[in-house]
Amino acid sequence: MQITLGNTPHDITVALSRNGDFVTALVADQTWPAGTEAELQFARPATAEPITPIVWEATVDGMRISWDRPAADCAAVLDAGATSVLLIYGEADGTRLLWGKGRARAV
């Protein structure tokens, strides 16, 4: 028997270019609740020497959670060897949920 408790994070891939900005958005069917936060956390896989995660906070506006990061930030993530990424969702009461996990890759 298998029992699953909690939330299973979505599999995500974040494609980064050293020469291009990272501009993307998650768009909901309705306005995100007041106090909603989101961030991407980039790190190395557990098998590599750890680094302090690189955190990109999102802008939450109406139905959009978005990121607009310059190419230099993308290059910094790639130069740090960060290949794993977490998508963290924060609620107004301070609850933080692992919404997605996966890999960051150069394109």
Rounded to an integer, the average pLDDT of 10-14 is: 97
Strand partners, 86: 41, 101
* pTM: predicted TM-score of the whole model, two decimal places: 0.91
pLDDT at 3 over 90: no
Residue 1 lies in a domain: no
Backbone φ and ψ of 7, nearest 5°:
-105, 135
- CB under 8 Å to 12, separation ≥6 — which residues? 85, 87, 100, 101, 102
Reported confidence tier of residue 50, pLDDT bands at 50, 70, 90: confident
Whether the pLDDT of residue 90 is over 80: the answer is yes
Question: How many domains are there within the chain?
Answer: 1
Has residue 4 been placed in a domain? Answer: no
Domain that holds residue 52: 10-106
